[in-house]
A = this chain, B = another copy of it.
Amino acid sequence: MRTHERVLAQIEDKLRTGEWSLGERLPGERALAEQMGVSRPSVREAVRVLEAMGIVRTAVGSGPDAGATVVDRPAAGLGAAVRLHVASGTLPVSDVVATRAALETWAVGQAAARFDVETDLTEAQRLLDEMTAPGLTAAEFVALDQQFHLTLVQLAGNQLVEAILGGLRTAIGHYVTAGVERIESWDALCATLCREHQGILAAVVEGDAVGAERLAHDHIWGFYEQTGLASEFS
């Protein structure tokens, strides 16, 4: 094990045992290096890895001895990892679609099962309205569409599913945009997608988990098939 990996393993231990906890400010670089008996560059390398994974945050502009703060943003870390892997081109698009479909299908079913009068749908409804605004460009639509899907997923209340799907956001946006650009009759597709979104939301509100799952599944796979992405990528 190399030095920065040993430092990472020690930090992981401190997080696991609760010696360091959420919101806590860690010792500065110099103090950590002394505690762990390693060089300051090795400490910095380990802290950079933790930052990229969304485990700690270092304040911009503050020196290395200000100390990193333990945060917990799984979405950030998973997001960066998935983004880099999709960028390197070895992750097939169909794998991204299938993973997304499996998790979102579960999430909307869960959202329907948990739905009650307290559930706040203002944001979901606002996004649906904006998506039907006339003159929307495809890029604007895709951005709103992604926001709508993540809002639905949040209703399921599962941090890990949210983090994974948040992490897949760029990869999903990429294939959705490619699909939208291929289609000849954007207006017709846009109308179909809006209708499907409304159907999914209505099923959630009715507490119809099975219906919401089926509609979400058909919505995600239907787009992939209808835009011709399925034949291009398989």
Contact = CB atoms under 8 A, between A and B. Distances in A.
A30 interface: no
A36 to B, nearest CB: 16
Interface stretch (A78-86, A118-126, A182-190, A224-232): A78-86
Contact of A87 (B16, B78, B89, B158): B16
Given A88-B22, A89-B22, A95-B158, A81 B54 contact: yes
A136 interface: no
B160 A96 contact: yes
Contact of A91 (B45, B74, B84, B110): B74
A55 interface: yes
Interface in A160-207: 160-161, 163-164
B106 A98 contact: yes
A215 to B, nearest CB: 17
B161 A15 contact: no
Contact of A89 (B18, B41, B45, B99): B18
B85 A77 contact: yes
Given A4-B48, A52-B8, A159 B82 contact: no
26 contacts: A4-B48, A12-B84, A15-B87, A15-B89, A16-B89, A22-B89, A41-B41, A45-B45, A48-B48, A52-B53, A53-B80, A72-B90, A74-B91, A77-B85, A78-B78, A78-B82, A81-B81, A91-B160, A92-B159, A95-B159, A98-B106, A98-B110, A98-B158, A98-B160, A102-B102, A103-B103
Given A52-B53, A74-B81, A98-B160, 19 more contacts: A12-B83, A12-B84, A15-B84, A16-B88, A16-B89, A18-B89, A22-B89, A53-B53, A53-B81, A53-B85, A72-B88, A74-B82, A98-B106, A99-B158, A99-B160, A102-B103, A102-B161, A103-B103, A164-B164
